[in-house]
């Protein structure tokens, strides 16, 4: 009888073009998802004394929100009810005690709430959280003048999401807004979400021929920069953008004209990403500076986007299988024996120079744990979909990664 899970052999496909020789290491994706998710909760329980206290201690903010989102996705694989207890108690505690809404960083938890309501894991009383988050987020707008579109023409761009122009917000706010539009059945709202993705492309496209994006800008109320914002292609920001775009595309019909534009940009940017991957399999924290350190969360987000794109048929090409293979191997080299993910850069604002990004310290952070769980679950979904193409590299990926003996009983 065929089991529903697959076993990946990370590092055994040394005959794939573009891969360095590596020690053969066998991992089971479901087991690793379970191990990482359990340790993400357990290390907090060890510090706070109980699951409930650990959940209460996790902030209602973007970092905790990304971790909780990753845990909810992990539950689909592990069916570990402690995950749902942990996330539900986190939601209940902040709902009862009052959650802060004073910054766009506070919106990501509403995306977790929306995801759980859609999956029937939270009662509809939490609709109030979604409405308050929506009202706060959409209250502030800003018109940015003087930016240029892809043809070099000057244009005005209207920013919602409190008028910020950081790529991070397209994940932290976009994941919520996409689900809120889905729940309310509002195509007009879904189009407004798409407009924010497209507006950021106009504002943050790197100069020259590169399609990757700058991290962001510090904008004043007049829509003009008030702090230096260098043109720095920060890897994790590009990862947030691509992951959120993939999520949006999966939730919108193919005949939506806004979706068509977003899909085109997703494909164009993803086509450039593989060239930046380091020999280690990680991606440098500043994409076009290979001397900058490799960062685990960014790598996980690029793996997620590649797996989603391949599974949905948006991406084609051997380079994405190579990216996933090397990226997964590098990620697992940064997970210790307990399941703790390391090598994640700390919270990072928009900075003026690459050197300042390189100075950000690394460690274990909730947003990286969540990003790794999202990546592993999405790769497992790709494996379960079993789409095998005709290219030699793609056949080698499947033939080498899937342990068919472990699939049968």
Q: How far is CA 179 from the centre of its chain?
A: 15
pLDDT at residue 22 in the model: 41
Residue 394's pLDDT band, with cuts at 50, 70 and 90, is confident
pLDDT at residue 1 in the model: 35
In a domain, 177, yes or no: yes
In a domain, 42, yes or no: yes
In a domain, 176, yes or no: yes
User: Rounded CA gap, 409 and 406, in Å?
Assistant: 7
| Token pair 């030699």: residue | 392
Range of the domain at 133: 7-407
In a domain, 1, yes or no: no
The predicted-structure confidence for 281-308, as pLDDT tens digits, reads as follows 999 999 999 999 999 999 999 999 999 9
Please state, as a whole number, how many other Cβ atoms lie within 10 Å of the Cβ of residue 230.
Answer: 15
pLDDT at residue 391 in the model: 76
In a domain, 212, yes or no: yes
- Which are the contacts of 92, defined by CB distance < 8 A and separation ≥ 6? none
Q: What is the pTM of this model?
A: 0.90
Q: Compute the average pLDDT of residues 400-405.
A: 45
| Token pair 């959409």: residue | 138
Half-sphere exposure of 202 (CA within 13 A, CB side): 23
In a domain, 343, yes or no: yes
**Burial of residue 257 (number of CB atoms within 10 Å: 0-12, 13-18, 19+):** exposed
CB-based contact 144:223 (threshold 8 Å): yes
- CATH at residue 342: 1.50.10.10
pLDDT at residue 263 in the model: 95
User: Rounded CA gap, 194 and 242, in Å?
Assistant: 13
Residue 209's pLDDT band, with cuts at 50, 70 and 90, is low
**Burial of residue 401 (number of CB atoms within 10 Å: 0-12, 13-18, 19+):** buried
Give the highest mean pLDDT range of 53-62, 145-154, 396-405: 53-62
- Which are the contacts of 158, defined by CB distance < 8 A and separation ≥ 6? 141, 142, 143, 144, 195, 199
The chain-wide mean pLDDT, for the chain, equals 85
In a domain, 2, yes or no: no
In a domain, 170, yes or no: yes
227 phi/psi in degrees, rounded to 5: -130, 150
User: Rounded CA gap, 336 and 324, in Å?
Assistant: 20
The predicted-structure confidence for 253-284, as pLDDT tens digits, reads as follows 888 888 999 999 999 999 999 999 999 999 99
Q: Which of 205-214, 243-252, 337-346, 378-387 has the lowest mean pLDDT?
A: 205-214
pLDDT at residue 166 in the model: 87
pLDDT at residue 7 in the model: 43
Domain count, the chain: 1
**In this predicted model, which residue has the larger pLDDT, 336 or 27?**
336
Q: How far is CA 290 from the centre of its chain?
A: 22
Which segments of 137-214 are extended strands (E)? 142-148, 154-159, 165-166
């Amino acid at each position: 009888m065929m089991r529903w899970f697959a076993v990946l052999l990370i590092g055994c496909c040394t005959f794939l073009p573009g891969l360095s020789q590596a020690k053969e290491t066998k991992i089971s994706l479901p087991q690793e998802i379970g191990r990482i998710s359990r340790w993400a909760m357990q290390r907090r329980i060890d510090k706070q004394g109980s699951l409930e206290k650990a959940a209460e201690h996790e902030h209602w903010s973007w970092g905790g929100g990304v971790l909780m989102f990753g845990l909810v996705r992990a539950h689909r694989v592990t069916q570990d009810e402690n995950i749902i207890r942990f996330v539900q108690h986190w939601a209940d505690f902040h709902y009862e005690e009052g959650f802060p809404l004073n910054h766009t960083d506070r919106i990501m938890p509403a995306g977790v709430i929306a995801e759980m309501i859609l999956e029937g894991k939270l009662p509809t009383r939490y609709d109030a959280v979604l409405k308050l988050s929506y009202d706060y987020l959409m209250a502030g707008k800003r018109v940015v003048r003087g930016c240029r579109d892809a043809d070099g023409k000057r244009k005005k761009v209207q920013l919602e999401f409190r008028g910020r122009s950081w790529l991070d917000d397209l994940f932290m706010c976009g994941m919520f807004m996409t689900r809120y539009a889905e729940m309310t059945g509002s195509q007009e709202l879904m189009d407004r979400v798409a407009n924010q993705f497209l507006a950021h492309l106009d504002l943050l496209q790197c100069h020259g021929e590169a399609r990757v994006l700058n991290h962001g800008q510090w904008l004043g109320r007049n829509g003009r920069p008030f702090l230096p914002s260098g043109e720095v292609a920060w890897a994790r920001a590009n990862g947030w953008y691509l992951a959120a775009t993939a999520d949006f595309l999966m939730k919108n019909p193919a005949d939506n004209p806004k979706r068509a534009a977003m899909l085109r940009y997703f494909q164009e940017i993803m086509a450039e990403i593989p060239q930046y991957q380091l020999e280690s399999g990680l991606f440098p924290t500043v994409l076009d500076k290979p001397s900058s350190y490799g960062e685990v969360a960014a790598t996980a987000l690029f793996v997620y986007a590649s797996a989603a794109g391949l599974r949905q048929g948006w991406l084609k090409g051997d380079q994405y299988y190579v990216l996933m293979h090397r990226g997964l191997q590098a990620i697992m080299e940064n997970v210790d024996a307990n399941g703790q993910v390391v090598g994640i850069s700390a919270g990072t604002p928009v900075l003026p120079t690459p050197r300042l990004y390189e100075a950000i310290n690394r460690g274990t952070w909730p947003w990286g744990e969540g990003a790794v769980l999202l990546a592993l679950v999405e790769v497992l979904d790709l494996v379960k979909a079993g789409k095998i193409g005709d290219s030699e590299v793609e056949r080698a990926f499947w033939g080498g990664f899937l342990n068919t003996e472990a699939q049968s009983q």
